Structure 1
Amino acid sequence: MKFLSLLFCAFTVSITAAEPEFPLTADSKPQADVAKGTLIKDSYTASESSVFPGTVREYQIYLPAGFDKAQPAHFMVFQDGVIYQAPVVFDNLIAKKDIPSLVGIFIKPGVVPAANDNALPRFNRSYEYDSITPTYSKFLIEEFLPAIEKKHAISLSQDPNHAAISGNSSGGICAFMVAWHRPDRFRRVFTGVGTYVGIHGADQLPVLVRKIEPKPLRIYLQSGTGDNNLYCGDWWMANQMMERSLAWAGYDVNHAWGEGGHNQKHASQIFPDVLRWLWRDWQTDIEVKANPKGESKWKGYEVVEDEKWVAAKESCSYASVITSDSNGDVVWLEENSTHHALFLTRHSSGDNPRRFGESFSPFALHDIAFGKDNCLYVLCSMKATKDTVFKIDRAGQRHDVKFISKDTLAVAFNSVLSIARAGGLVGNWPATEHLPGLSEYGGKITISPDQTTIYQAQQGAEIIAWQYGTNGSLNQRQPYCMLQLDSEAVVNPQSLCVDTEGRLYVATSLGIQVCDQAGRVNFIIPTPKPAHDVCFGGKDLSELFIACGDSIYKRPTKVHGVVSGQQAPIKPAPPKL
């Protein structure tokens, strides 16, 4: 009996270890009557100024039969060199007009040559491919592709709908990340047995896909039950999680699951049909759209319209602080090397920005907010060691208020002005006592719609909540929200604001992260540039504004913001817990 059990176990192992065959179709085999493209082999050495300095990588370029170098070309990039019989498949599918005539670019990962005969080279593959930072996309788009265009006298289309990217295993996650970070350059993606696991943070991706506004990408994934299951994760499960997240978020996504292992066999078999799917309708409708069927469950659509950010003001000297009043007038500080100037714009009536108040030259400006008296309060340092608050009335006249220490400012409807300072919080303006300080805990603050809670950004990824009394007291400090980390494990929260329903909006390196009343990041609104500050403005406070250094952007919303210094407390509905 024991012998039979052992025999059964051995038989079971042999069955589960067997991998099905994946024979190639005719589309992956040379055809006698099909014109052949040409392959150019070369290598590229990165300069010391590169993001991957000193790396050497081999590459090949496929040029289709009859290629016209004078015309910008559709193209497809592959990591790890030539895979999936791609040049042969290109020949056959281009001849059938199933895909456009395109250039293939097959790149191997970088290697830093060995220092001497008794040393190993440094192999960059995992660092380049498995990382979910934008570093490789920067290298590929801003350095490598322009270099080979110049060297080989070819022109690659700048239309992102004309560009595809692919890879297997770590090359697959790399391909996805390039398109994820730069949908302005790549919109079609195929990943075979993609490494969506915890090597350099890719296990975060299924959550990020659900939280970040859908991007204009078309994505095909392949994996199998025999895929890797290692110290960093389960490839088979991770690929399914990615597909489910992409489908939930409304992406144009397809997949092929099988019983194969961690190799190229299954991906090579399906590659011709993958190309047909990625490039479908290329002759009539080449555009890849975000949420093409309108089926996305992204929670951000509860708040923002299905529109993009538009520039409210471009070519600023430098704008990093922005606020608004209850009428929707938006004010920002514009800085140059010699002075600071506040600008006021009434976006509800479409007026052009105009200067609000006189120019002034503080050492540094920390925050601005409107008060109940309709004046704009400005917290700044007039010298390196001297900090003050002044206010500007609607006629543009400046009035000194009181010398005070620095950091952040919020104004409540009951005219309590809260200043974080090294020596403590000053409340009950003008100050009568020093109360427990905020400054030791971090940065900018804002007040909840009911004006009983102060939210404060921390260095890193945490938001702190304080109970806020009408006498300016601060009590019951505790963590409120852990922000979603970005690909480099930092978010750098810059500024905060709230809407009438109690959501908290935080400007971070990932975009505007939006938390519900229970402190959960529900969704993230990407921004065209890194946002330094965020507020509601415009008609009925129904537009979201961001200050991005050299530009001010706005986007319509379905909700309304709060200007706590000019609006009575608002009690939102309780959250769904």
Structure 2
Amino acid sequence: MAAPLIRRISLLLAIIAGSCAPAAVLHAQDYTLGPDSQRQANVPQGAVTKYTWTSQIYPGTVRDYWVYVPAQYRADKPACLMVFQDGGSYVDENGGWRATIVLDNLIQKGDIPVTIGVFVNPGVLDALSPNQQNRYDRSYEYDALGDKYARFLIEEILPEVAKHYNISADPNDRAIAGLSSGGIAAFNAAWNRPDSFHRVMSFIGSFTNLRGGDEIATLIRKTEPKPLRVFLQDGSADLNIYAGNWFLANQEIYSALQYVGYESTFVTGTEAHNSKQGGAIFPDALRWLWKDYPKPVATPASDHQPGVYDILEPGKDWELVGQGYHFSDGLAVDKLGNVFFTDAANNRIYKIDLDGKVSLWKENANGAGGMVFGPDGRLYAGQARARRIVAYTPDGAETVIAEGVDPNDLCVTSRGEIYFTDSDNHRVWFIDAKGNKRIVDTSLAYPNGVRTSPDESLLLVSDTLNKWVWSFQIQPDGSLADAVPFYRLETSDDSSASNGDGMTLDTQGFLYVATKIGVQVCDQPGRVNLIMNPPQPGWLASLAFGGPDMQWLYVADRDKVYRRHIKRTGAVAWNILKPPQPRL
């Protein structure tokens, strides 16, 4: 048997083994392109068309992209999709990838489904004169951790392609690939938008601190699993520079994926930061990525990630409760487990009963926003339009508690005292049981969510414009002391702000914070243990435990309200308890 063929079989075996075993190290010193990367007789060729795009998400940038349509494509059947970063290098039929040739051969054999390829170059902002330098956006677009690049593909490029071709919208039918910074870009696109991509391929991925990529491995470990299949490749002679060690970084990513239980493989070799090995194994990598299609890519099983599944119930995802609101907020639970929420712009308060059914509870609510039930059974609400705080009795009658105030969120203690945030004026207020009010803190940039700890020893306040939830010790007279930025939240790449908003706690003393990247769950010592995936991409506003067992976690997600059943029980103001001693 010829040596190149032996090498190719070894590569394929390494890929297959790597999906369920430690990363396989390949000792070959050279890598050659096999027959799948060569034009073959009687294999029909797909068509490749080049386009130019000016972006809005990346203002002013211009880029080329190419669309490959296989000969087997039929307009009456949605085709699968694969997006390649640094697209020009992949469509070069004399280069190291020859992706269109590989796609032709593998589609013809039936090894992968009929797939439209979209090959996208990074953007360039052209200089205004020949004497000035262009701005090259490759690292800015590819190495960033947020969802911006994914949105660029999903909102700009792919809709344009879909005008001409029938592309499946099912994320199981969509893959994304890249090398180097394009590799981390591919992973981040799928990670941030698993509603659009379930299959990821990374060659010599730059999971290092070029722009924070070294944080990804930790995020994988603490984030609720997603339905992703991930292929990784790297060489032992890859870069070791100021931003980190590429080979070690890819090992960290693979280790994290295996810890969570993702279907993943890591093929290693001896090459440096180039496409030699990647190009050689590319056809077999595609076979692995699309194996068993159309069987859906699975979400990792619950026998991994013990910290995550100490809180979440396996197989219990978010359920839609209600929709069609302008902006849902102010989730609050009564003593029976009924949950109430506001739609401030429409001036309404709604009730969710124990069966999860929504009904209108109050109209003309004066722009009620933040709400909470007190130990007296009344619903306390901040009315933005009337600049006051009121308390509603079960029949909807209201009593004014404080006037001339600008409340955002609020909480009520077992003694009937109130803390509320005045976000725009950077203030935390205290109202004693007699109705006297005073400012107790002015140090936060944008104080938002506010809750007491289950034993009412601490006041916790989220600062939306920073990554912290602050902890204050509550003094006997209601004043606050010994403030520290105690809970460190994870943030999106486009801002140092967590967008931390509403909060709630469970009886173990764990803090749940509504943020831009999902529900972040912190243990008592202030560490994020779990990030729950948001029901839909975007900023969450409020959350609360409810239901007959107080184990339904409700979230207000802009125009919708969702819930999911979890293993923890919510803490409430009318049941003071001391949480267990935390692990330090």
Instruction: Answer whether TM exceeds 0.5 for this pair.
Output: yes
SS at 2:513 equivalent: strand
Matched, 1:464 2:470: yes
Q: Which residue of 1 aligns with 2:382?
A: 379
Matched, 1:335 2:344: yes
The AA in structure 2 aligned to 1:41 is T
Aligned pairs for 1:287-302 (under 5 A) are 287-291=296-300, 293-297=301-305, 299-302=307-310
Matched, 1:133 2:146: yes
> Once the two structures are superposed, what CA deviation does each residue of 1:462-505 show, in whole Å capped at 9, x if it has no partner?
11112224542323222321111222232111011100111001
Match of 1:77 among 77, 83, 95: 83
Q: Which residue of 1 aligns with 2:54?
A: 46
> TM-score, normalised to structure 1's length?
0.88
Q: Which residue of 1 aligns with 2:119?
A: 106
> Once the two structures are superposed, what CA deviation does each residue of 1:515-550 show, in whole Å capped at 9, x if it has no partner?
101111111112124211111111211111111221
SS at 1:260 equivalent: coil
Aligned pairs for 1:496-535 (under 5 A) are 496-529=503-536, 530-535=539-544
Aligned pairs for 1:420-569 (under 5 A) are 420=421, 425-431=429-435, 434=438, 436-437=440-441, 440=444, 442-458=447-463, 459-488=465-494, 489-529=496-536, 530-564=539-573, 566-567=574-575, 569=576
CA distance in structure 2 between the aligned counterparts of 1:433 and 1:169, rounded to whole angstroms: 57
CA distance in structure 2 between the aligned counterparts of 1:300 and 1:575, rounded to whole angstroms: 17
The AA in structure 1 aligned to 2:452 is I
Q: Which stretch shifts more, 305-314 or 416-425?
A: 416-425
Q: How many residues align?
A: 541
Q: How large is the Cα RMSD of the aligned pairs?
A: 2.3
- 1:427 offset after TM fit, Å? 4.3
- 1:224 offset after TM fit, Å? 1.1
Gaps of at least 5 residues in structure 2 are: 1-26, 91-96
The AA in structure 2 aligned to 1:388 is R
Q: Which residue of 1 aligns with 2:239?
A: 228
Q: Which residue of 2 aligns with 1:414?
A: 415
Match of 1:87 among 91, 100, 123: 100
CA distance in structure 1 between the aligned counterparts of 2:100 and 2:257, rounded to whole angstroms: 29
- 1:440 offset after TM fit, Å? 4.9
CA distance in structure 1 between the aligned counterparts of 2:259 and 2:498, rounded to whole angstroms: 25
Matched, 1:213 2:216: no
CA distance in structure 1 between the aligned counterparts of 2:165 and 2:421, rounded to whole angstroms: 58
The AA in structure 2 aligned to 1:35 is V
- 1:123 offset after TM fit, Å? 2.2
The AA in structure 1 aligned to 2:449 is K
- 1:325 offset after TM fit, Å? 1.5
Match of 2:332 among 313, 323, 339: 323
- 1:127 offset after TM fit, Å? 1.8
> Once the two structures are superposed, what CA deviation does each residue of 1:21-57 show, in whole Å capped at 9, x if it has no partner?
112222222333x41323423121315xx11234332
- 1:179 offset after TM fit, Å? 1.1
CA distance in structure 1 between the aligned counterparts of 2:382 and 2:341, rounded to whole angstroms: 13
Match of 1:186 among 197, 208, 220: 197
Q: Which residue of 1 aligns with 2:396?
A: 396
- 1:286 offset after TM fit, Å? 2.5
Matched, 1:124 2:128: no
Matched, 1:286 2:287: no
**Does the Cα contact within 8 Å between 2:145 and 2:492 map onto a contact in 1?**
no
- 1:200 offset after TM fit, Å? 1.9
The AA in structure 1 aligned to 2:394 is R
CA distance in structure 2 between the aligned counterparts of 1:420 and 1:62, rounded to whole angstroms: 54
- 1:60 offset after TM fit, Å? 2.7
Identity %: 34
SS at 2:175 equivalent: strand
> TM-score, normalised to structure 2's length?
0.87
CA distance in structure 2 between the aligned counterparts of 1:329 and 1:94, rounded to whole angstroms: 54
CA distance in structure 2 between the aligned counterparts of 1:210 and 1:311, rounded to whole angstroms: 27
**Does the Cα contact within 8 Å between 2:330 and 2:372 map onto a contact in 1?**
no
**Does the Cα contact within 8 Å between 1:357 and 1:397 map onto a contact in 2?**
no
CA distance in structure 1 between the aligned counterparts of 2:561 and 2:44, rounded to whole angstroms: 51
SS at 1:443 equivalent: strand
> Once the two structures are superposed, what CA deviation does each residue of 1:65-87 show, in whole Å capped at 9, x if it has no partner?
33323321112111112432222
The AA in structure 1 aligned to 2:529 is N
The AA in structure 2 aligned to 1:276 is R
**Does the Cα contact within 8 Å between 1:35 and 1:95 map onto a contact in 2?**
yes
CA distance in structure 2 between the aligned counterparts of 1:213 and 1:440, rounded to whole angstroms: 30
**Does the Cα contact within 8 Å between 2:337 and 2:549 map onto a contact in 1?**
yes
Aligned pairs for 1:226-305 (under 5 A) are 226-282=237-293, 285-291=294-300, 293-297=301-305, 299-305=307-313
**Does the Cα contact within 8 Å between 2:452 and 2:458 map onto a contact in 1?**
yes
Q: Which stretch shifts more, 58-67 or 538-547?
A: 58-67
CA distance in structure 2 between the aligned counterparts of 1:575 and 1:419, rounded to whole angstroms: 28
- 1:19 offset after TM fit, Å? 9.2
SS at 1:78 equivalent: strand
- 1:141 offset after TM fit, Å? 1.7
- 1:266 offset after TM fit, Å? 0.7
CA distance in structure 1 between the aligned counterparts of 2:444 and 2:134, rounded to whole angstroms: 47
> Once the two structures are superposed, what CA deviation does each residue of 1:211-232 show, in whole Å capped at 9, x if it has no partner?
2111111000011111111221
Gaps of at least 5 residues in structure 1 are: 1-17
Match of 1:356 among 338, 356, 361: 361
Q: Which residue of 1 aligns with 2:38?
A: 29
CA distance in structure 2 between the aligned counterparts of 1:97 and 1:502, rounded to whole angstroms: 54
SS at 1:239 equivalent: helix
**Does the Cα contact within 8 Å between 1:220 and 1:274 map onto a contact in 2?**
yes
SS at 2:284 equivalent: helix
The AA in structure 2 aligned to 1:480 is F
- 1:433 offset after TM fit, Å? 7.2
> Once the two structures are superposed, what CA deviation does each residue of 1:267-311 show, in whole Å capped at 9, x if it has no partner?
1111121111111111xx4311210x4443162221122322111
Instruction: Summarize the Cα distance change of 1:402–1:58 in structure 2 as closer, same or farther, 3 Å threshold.
Output: closer
CA distance in structure 2 between the aligned counterparts of 1:218 and 1:108, rounded to whole angstroms: 24
**Does the Cα contact within 8 Å between 1:219 and 1:252 map onto a contact in 2?**
yes
